[in-house]
């Protein structure tokens, strides 16, 4: 009996589509030593290893434009992707299916989501023959997306990534591995700033012999709405700290039973887009904090040791 492990890269570039994590213990929470029924506050230290960005006093807030999707639009897309079958109107979105091929387009106010997929070929467990090179894939993606109106002018090439798989036998020994597909991802810019979030991407996946087995455009059209006052980087840093355990006072950290050391390695300002299937009325400026953390300590006889990288989004809008 084979044990199969598939390592697929469904997110084109993780830096674009990362979710906001809840890292560590929430401020004010404590960790209990069950055996001794003791409670130890988790404390944190924050090490700023970069400079704060220079920011303007105000930034533009953008209103999203409602999608204007008709059945004729869906029929045109079905023709592009080679689908037959009926169009199903589910209220929030149109769906068309043809065997394992699926086309889904959202029409709900505040959304921006279009995705075609050949699910059987995306889940294939064997090496793909005649995959295009990365350069060929980028050129083909540009041509296909532009020719079909799926690549707006405010996009940029975000990355090219292989879908890979590994197969193991029952003893955990690798018996096969390879590349099953190749994906090309594009991000969006607003005023030359790279938009963060899962709602700002265009991607295309090439399978065997360069066949297109997935295409997605996740983006809301936008228009300028009004300028909003922006908080300072120092104020954003204070909001960032609220996502973590209580900050230790001087000389207090070493006495903590559990401590979290947070290293902030990059801070910048941009815009954030929610997942395209979630209504979002405005695209607003945010601060982005990038870094890593390490949590350590001992509770009773149990040693605590964990760490990871993070990217945390903090609203840049001044709360009146």
Question: Do residues 197 and 268 share a domain?
Answer: no
Across residues 130-156, what is the average pLDDT? 97
Looking at residue 292, what is its pLDDT?
98
Task: Tell which of 220, 250, 283 closes a domain.
Answer: 220
Looking at residue 157, what is its pLDDT?
98
Least confident piece of the model among 5-14, 71-80, 185-194: 5-14
Which residue range is the domain that position 215 belongs to?
A: 66-220
Would the pLDDT of 170 be above 70? Answer: yes
CB of 219 within 8 A of CB of 276? yes
In a domain, 76, yes or no: yes
Residues in the chain: 320
Residue bearing the bigger pLDDT, 98 or 320: 98
- Tokens found for residue 180: 């099953």
Task: Tell which of 220, 243, 275 closes a domain.
Answer: 220
Cα–Cα distance, 317 to 59 (Å, whole number): 9
Question: Do residues 143 and 239 share a domain?
Answer: no
Q: Count other Cβ atoms within 10 Å, centred on residue 303.
A: 9
Task: Tell which of 196, 220, 244 closes a domain.
Answer: 220
Looking at residue 208, what is its pLDDT?
95
Question: Do residues 197 and 114 share a domain?
Answer: yes
In a domain, 288, yes or no: yes
- For 269-297, the pLDDT digits (tens) are 999 999 999 999 999 999 999 999 999 99
In a domain, 50, yes or no: yes
> What is the chain's percent helix, strand, coil content, to nearest 5?
15, 50, 35
Looking at residue 40, what is its pLDDT?
55
The residues, ordered by sequence, that sit 6+ positions from 85 with a Cβ below 8 Å of its Cβ are 78, 96, 97, 98
Q: What DSSP element (H or E) covers 310? A: strand 302-315
Question: Do residues 134 and 210 share a domain?
Answer: yes
In a domain, 145, yes or no: yes
Residue in this structure with the two tokens 């598939």, named with its chain if needed: 6
Beta strand 258-271 with 38-48 is: parallel
DSSP string covering 238-293? HHHHTTSSEEPPTTTGGG-SEEEEEEEEEEEEEEB---TTS--SEE-EEEEEEEEE
Question: Do residues 55 and 71 share a domain?
Answer: no
Cα–Cα distance, 316 to 288 (Å, whole number): 9
Looking at residue 27, what is its pLDDT?
34
Question: Do residues 191 and 96 share a domain?
Answer: yes
In a domain, 82, yes or no: yes
Looking at residue 169, what is its pLDDT?
79
Question: Do residues 205 and 261 share a domain?
Answer: no
Confidence of residue 33 (pLDDT cuts 50, 70, 90): very low
DSSP string covering 112-172? -EEEEEEHHHHT--SPPSSPPPHHHHHHHHHHHHHHTT-S-TTEEEEEEEEEEEEEEETTS
Would the pLDDT of 300 be above 80? Answer: no
In a domain, 278, yes or no: yes
Would the pLDDT of 4 be above 90? Answer: no
| pTM (whole model) above 0.85 | no
Across residues 179-205, what is the average pLDDT? 97
Question: Do residues 234 and 216 share a domain?
Answer: no
Phi, psi of 236 (to 5 degrees): -65, -40
CB of 231 within 8 A of CB of 317? yes
Question: Do residues 143 and 253 share a domain?
Answer: no
């Amino acid at each position: 009996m084979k044990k199969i492990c598939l390592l697929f890269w469904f997110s084109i570039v993780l830096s674009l589509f990362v979710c906001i994590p809840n890292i560590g213990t929430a401020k004010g929470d404590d960790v209990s030593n069950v055996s001794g029924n003791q409670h130890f506050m988790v404390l944190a230290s924050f090490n700023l290893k970069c400079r704060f960005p220079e920011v303007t006093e105000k930034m533009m807030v953008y209103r999203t434009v409602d999608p204007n999707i008709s059945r004729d639009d869906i029929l045109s897309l079905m023709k592009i992707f080679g689908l037959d079958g009926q169009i199903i109107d589910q209220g929030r979105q149109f769906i068309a299916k043809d065997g394992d091929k699926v086309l889904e387009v959202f029409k709900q106010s505040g959304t921006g989501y279009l995705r075609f997929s050949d699910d059987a070929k995306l889940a294939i467990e064997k090496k793909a023959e005649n995959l295009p090179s990365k350069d060929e894939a980028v050129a083909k993606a540009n041509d296909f997306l532009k020719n079909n109106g799926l690549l707006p002018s405010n996009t940029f090439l975000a990355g090219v990534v292989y879908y890979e798989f590994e197969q193991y036998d029952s003893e955990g020994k690798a018996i096969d591995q390879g590349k099953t597909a190749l994906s090309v991802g594009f991000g969006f810019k607003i005023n030359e700033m790279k938009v963060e979030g899962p709602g700002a991407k265009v991607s295309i996946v090439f399978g065997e012999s360069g066949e297109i087995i997935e295409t997605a455009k996740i983006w809301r059209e936008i228009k300028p709405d009004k300028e909003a006052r922006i908080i300072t980087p120092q104020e954003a840093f204070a909001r960032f700290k609220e996502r973590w355990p209580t900050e230790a006072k001087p000389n207090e950290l070493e006495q903590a039973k559990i401590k979290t050391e947070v290293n902030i390695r990059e801070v910048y300002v941009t815009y954030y887009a929610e997942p395209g299937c979630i209504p979002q009325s405005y695209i607003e400026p945010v601060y982005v904090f990038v870094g890593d953390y390490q949590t350590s300590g001992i509770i009773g006889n149990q040693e605590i040791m964990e760490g990871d990288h993070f990217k945390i989004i903090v609203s840049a809008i001044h709360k009146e």
